[in-house]
Amino acid sequence: MKIHQAEFVISNSDPAKCPKPDRPEYAFIGRSNVGKSSLINRLVQRDLAKTSGKPGKTQLINHFSINSGKLTPKGETAWYLVDLPGYGYAKVPKNVRDQFAGMISTYLTGRENLRCIFVLIDMRIPPQQIDLDFITRLGEERLPFVLVFTKAEKLKSGARSTALEIYHAAVAQIFDTFPTYFITSATTGEGRDEILAYLDDMNKA
């Protein structure tokens, strides 16, 4: 899929104020600083989402409209990409269940056009309980999600395989099958084509 158009629509803390749910939507979530906003920018090839070296940059639900412009070929669907605040940062509730009680939960469980949640995980560090708790909760809520490993350019192929094996073992404690996953780098663009192809398939589903 090509990105013909991408623009910021609205930021808000009230899921009720999100744009009309009239097209497929995909949300990016994960611990603070994992690289959600950077990966969104890499996907759309422009600086739409605000990034920062300091955790806790994204604080609101941010909607970006993709491929709704005149340049988009007939038959291609417009969709929304959503940048969410990170979890696990000291200034936001530590407990994921608290997170789930708040704005993010209301959004994730109530957004009718949300087709898939992209859970970003820093590939350089071992599985974190907060991430495992988060995907457990997604499973309990029957919310569709995929895993996106970030900052992969920092790891050589041996270290990547080891990291994946460790994640497989950790996730096997929660789910019978390992979820669909992507290995990405916002720095090099690795994984971009694969994610866009996946989004294209889901748009058509």
Q: Which residues pair with 47 in a beta bridge?
A: none
Q: Which residues pair with 8 in a beta bridge?
A: 64
Phi, psi of 25 (to 5 degrees): -135, 145
Name the amino acid, one letter, at 28: F
Q: Which is nearer to ligand GTP, 114 or 186 (CB)?
A: 186
Would you count residue 37 as binding ligand GTP (CB under 6 A)? yes
| Contact partner, 38, from ligand GTP, Mg ion, none, Cβ < 5-8 Å per class | ligand GTP
Q: Which stretch binds ligand GTP (CB under 6 A): 47-55, 70-78, 167-175, 195-203?
A: 47-55
Would you count residue 52 as binding ligand GTP (CB under 6 A)? yes
Would you count residue 150 as binding Mg ion (CB under 5 A)? no
Q: Which of 53, 73, 126, 158 binds ligand GTP (CB under 6 A)?
A: 53
Would you count residue 58 as binding Mg ion (CB under 5 A)? yes
The pair of three-digit structure tokens given for residue 37, joined into one six-digit string: 């906003």
Among 29, 42, 9, 16, smallest CA distance to 146 is for 29
Phi, psi of 151 (to 5 degrees): 60, 30
Site string for Mg ion, 19-38 (x = CB under 5 A): -----------------xx-
| Alpha-carbon gap, residue 67 to 199, rounded angstroms | 12
Name the amino acid, one letter, at 34: V
**Binding positions for ligand GTP, rule: CB under 6 A:** 32-38, 51-53, 55-58, 85-86, 150-151, 153-154, 185-187
